Structures are given as structure tokens and as C-alpha cells.
Amino acid sequence: MTALHDALLAVRRYPAFALLWSSRLLSVVAFNILVVAVGWQLYDLTNDPLDLGLVGLFQFLPIITLTLLVGQVADRSDRRLVVTSCRVVQALAVVPLLLGTAGGWLTAPVIFAIVAVIGAARAFEDPTMTALMPGLVPRAEFARATVWYATASQVARICGPAAGGLLYLLGPSVAYATGGVMFVLAALCTLLIRAAPIRGGKSPVTVASVFAGVTFAWHTPAILGSISLDLFVVLLGGATALLPIYARDILQTGPEGLGLLRSAPAVGALLMSLVLTQFPIKERIRQEITVSSAGAYIRSQTASGCNGYSLADPARRPDAVRHSDRLWAGDHCLRPVH
């Protein structure tokens, strides 16, 4: 309790970070509400599993294509305005979802286009948010602030999908409207942040500066290995896009069941994080991460033949350990050097 009390006091001492934390919570909850609502409505419209996979593809492509540009924008622009703009774009993207649902003209291609716009906004939002945090708290409090920032994301990934499923029971428009309002609130919180200006001059954009991050990762085995391993598992073993099929056709449940399924990995990761705080991995870290990733891949493949929550529930230990280990490895490998 003392540690929690100290952490709360630290957050209260830095209102700029409190605004960042709140905006992160609102944004991730809103995004996960949309994920559940879009997935369920799309599958209800087309009954085509391929369309569910294409949603993930159209969300993923902007992140890949804009990766090299994001760092340049975050380093040379007001990060508050970048993040605020991204959230305004996501709020505006909700409008055609609302109008299309009300008018009955919402189709799969329209949804794909909207998802691509949201994916492009998030490609800029997430890295810029992370880069904004060090200027909001003193160096001595940065580690604690990082924990709270990660906690906000994890809590949002638990509450957001569950809320999305429940809101969808009232109608897809209710879910979309709620997500849009939360994006607007997140944008307002970000706009109110008073951050320290970016230190140092702005060097000219060169090929070397554009590929600096790629070069650094390529020459840092710990980072390259973690990214490659996680990318392999996500691309070949990720089945979360197909969860509407599990929820409706296999488990015979509604959008509220889909919301619970989407929340399950975050619950598992949070529980495993608590376990790792008491029993940290001190030896054979690489082997543990590799085995966990392999377990997550095997789990996703065997789950395809399940017919009940006990097997379909993604909150299994391998996936949970993989997420927790990735956070642990990221905390140690990617910690800023001052």
C-alpha cells in the first residue's frame, strides 16, 4: 500500500503527466470499443472470415509504411499537437461509421478505408506519446511514470473491449458515439499538457537520420531479436481478428462475449505481470521468451478447433507470459539513456 500511495502522490505532483495518463486511458479504451464494434458489425454484414483478416491488414499497412516518417515528425514538431491531431482524426473517422450505420450504406470497403485512416493516425500517435513522456516528469520519477503509463494501457485493454461489447448491445451507433466522444476527451487532455520544449537543434532530414532507428535496432541484438520474435508470432499466430467467428459461430454468444474474449489476453498479461513482480525472471531469459512465444503460437493453432470458453479463451499462460516478457524485455532494452 505504501508503494501505491507514493505512486499516487507522484502522479498528483505532476499534473502534466496526469493529463497524459488520462488521455492514454481514454484513447486506448475508445480504440478497443471501436475494434469490438467494427469486428462484430463487419462479420454480421458479410459473414466472411476473410474480411476480418483484411481489417487487421488495413490497420497494419499504414503503420509499416509510415514508420520511417513518424520519428521525423515526432522529433521536429510539437508532440502535443501531433498527438492531439491524431486523436481528432480518429474521432472524425467515427462519423462515417455513425452515418453509414444510420443510413444503411456501410459496406466492407468503407470500413476498410476508415480502419486505414485510424491505423495511420495511430501510427503517429503511439510513438509520439511515448516520446512526450520524458519531458513531463523528473528523471528520478521516470521509471515510476513508465509503470503507470503501461498500467493505463493495460487497464484500458481490459475495460475497453468489455465496454465495447456491452455498448454494442444498445446498438452499434451507441458504441461508435461513445468511442468518438472519448477520442475528443483524450485530445482535449493532450492539448492541456504543458511539456518542456524539445532540446537541441533540429538537424536536417537525411537518409541516415530517416533510417537511424532501423540501424540502431539492426546493430542491437537484444532489440532485433525481441522485435523479430514478436513479429513472427503476431503475423503467424495471431487469431484475435477472427474472434467474432469464435464468439458468434463457435461459442454462440453475442457482442458482449466478443468483448470478453478481446479483454482476456490483457487480463492474462496483467496477472502474469503480477506474478513476475514476485518471481522475476533472472536466468535463461531468452529461453523463457522463446518458449512462451512458441506456446502462444501453438495455442492459437490448437484453438481453431475448440468449442468452448475453456480452450477458446485467449487468456492462456503462453500468451500472457509472452506479453509480460515482452514488456519486461522492452523495459530493460529500450530504457532511455540519459
Q: Contact 124/73 with Cβ under 8 angstroms?
A: yes
Domain 11-194 fold = Growth Hormone; Chain: A; (1.20.1250)
> In the prediction, which pLDDT does 233 show?
63
User: Measuring CA to CA, which residue among 322, 298, 146 is closest to residue 226?
Assistant: 322
pTM of the full structure: 0.78
228 vs 95: CA distance, rounded Å = 37
List Cβ neighbours of 322 (8 Å cut-off, separation of 6 or more). 230, 233, 289, 292, 293, 295, 296
44 vs 337: CA distance, rounded Å = 49
> In the prediction, which pLDDT does 282 show?
63
30 vs 87: CA distance, rounded Å = 10
Mean pLDDT by 10 residues, the chain (338 residues): 53 78 92 94 91 87 82 77 92 94 91 93 86 78 77 87 93 94 94 68 63 74 73 65 88 90 83 72 65 64 50 41 40 38
**What is the grid cell recorded at 260?**
470478453
List Cβ neighbours of 84 (8 Å cut-off, separation of 6 or more). 187, 190, 191
> In the prediction, which pLDDT does 199 show?
54
> In the prediction, which pLDDT does 281 show?
65
185 vs 101: CA distance, rounded Å = 23
All structural domains of the chain with their residue ranges: 11-194, 219-338
**What is the grid cell recorded at 321?**
507470459
